[in-house]
Every structure is written in C-alpha cells, then in structure tokens.
A = this chain, B = another copy of it.
C-alpha cells in the first residue's frame, strides 16, 4: 500500500560510473534486487502465514515486483520456499566449527560454555527484536512435506545442534544428542510460542527475564547444574 507500484525513477541519472561495476545498485532493472526483495518478502510471509497460506501474488505485491518473476528466478513456489529456508539465519551468526579437538578438554569445555552463553544472548536479542524464523517455526510444524522437513532438519543440525551438543555435560555423554535436541525445543520453543502470541504472559515477558529462565532450563537439560 502507498508505494504506488512504480518505484521512483528520479535518481536514474544518479548512477555515476563510480560504483563497483559488479553491483550497480541503482538500476531500474536489477535482477539481483528483485530476487532479494522477493526472498525477503517471502521469508516474512511464509513465517506469518505458513506455506499453504502464502500466495505468490501476495509475496510479489509485498516485494513490489511482478509475480511472474518468482517463476523466473526461483522456478516456482517450492523453489522460493527452499531458498527462504536456505537463507534463514535461524539464529544470527554462523557457528564456526572449523577447529575441534585441537584443544585441551577443559579449554574446550570453557569454550563450549562461552558459545552457549553467546547463543543464549543472541536468542534473547532475537526475542526482543525479531519474530521467530521460518526454520524455528518449522521445528514445531507437523504439516511439512519431506523436502521442507529435510531442509529444516539440515539447517538446525548445522546451526544450532552442534553448539548445544558441545555444551552438554559431560560432552558426548549418554543422551547427549537427545539432550541437545531437548535444549533446542526449549530455546526455539520459547521464541516461537512468543511470536505465536497464544501465551499472554510469555508474549509480554521481558526477554532478559526469559533469558534467565531459559538459562536455567538449558543447564538442567544439558546436565550442567
């Protein structure tokens, strides 16, 4: 609404030759920009309304782009959804797993604790500022086709589980996988339920305070008393 379909063409001349030749950000026809806007709009709408509840026309309208471009750039609704899942940060930064096993046990343990604290801090930040990610929501979705479920599992498996697994006490102990997944349920569940808004006190709670409870729950399930 507002934003009358046609974008401003004013700054057309502003495209001096100065900018990097590879990203001419101010082009009237810019496939990259169109793709990005489609992806961003789709991420929002899929998160808000789910897959079946989201129409490509609605995505295109929010992106300020023609719906036919979805077919061109993502092959169709499925492809767009897969792209959204692939680009979903789940929780902001990428977990760096490049080095493992190169350090002493206690150092590894301390580092795991630090990373757990970092993960929790990022979750709290997300609870304050943003809605639950599509991947996070999908962990609690029973109406997923196989492809979406696989993409979701892969995303959680690479962005969340390793960190929680490493923080389990003892690391690699019995049930460490189950413990990590239970911790995932707690962490993501709080955020998703908060976004859903069905639990009023949870939706209204101060994220910092939620973080305290989440921390206690994590310590319990991960075996760190």
Task: Using known A-B contacts A52-B50, A213-B221, A217-B221, determine if residue A139 contacts B199 with beta carbons closer than 8 Å.
Answer: yes
Q: Which residues of B contact A175 (CB under 8 A)?
A: 209
Task: Using known A-B contacts A140-B137, A185-B193, A189-B193, determine if residue A216 contacts B205 with beta carbons closer than 8 Å.
Answer: no
Chain A residues 66 to 94 lying within 8 A of chain B, measured CB to CB, are none
Q: Which of B47, B153, B220 sits near A200, CB closer than 8 Å?
A: B153
Question: Is the C-beta of A17 less than 8 angstroms from some C-beta in chain B?
Answer: no
Question: Is the C-beta of A30 less than 8 angstroms from some C-beta in chain B?
Answer: no
Q: How far is the CA of A119 from the CA of B190 in the complex (A)?
A: 21
1/0 per position for A175-189, CB-CB distance to B under 8 A?
101111110111001
Question: Is the C-beta of A201 less than 8 angstroms from some C-beta in chain B?
Answer: yes
Question: Which of A50, A179, A182 counts the most chain B CB atoms within 10 A?
Answer: A182
CB distance from A196 to the nearest CB of B (A): 5
Q: How far is the CA of A18 from the CA of B186 in the complex (A)?
A: 55
User: Are A49 and B48 closer than 8 Å at their CB atoms?
Assistant: no
Q: How far is the CA of A182 from the CA of B220 in the complex (A)?
A: 14
Task: Using known A-B contacts A189-B185, A217-B186, determine if residue A142 contacts B153 with beta carbons closer than 8 Å.
Answer: no
Q: Which of B152, B210, B221 sits near A198, CB closer than 8 Å?
A: B152
Q: How far is the CA of A219 from the CA of B47 in the complex (A)?
A: 32
Q: How far is the CA of A53 from the CA of B196 in the complex (A)?
A: 19
Q: Which residues of B contact A189 (CB under 8 A)?
A: 140, 185-186, 189, 193
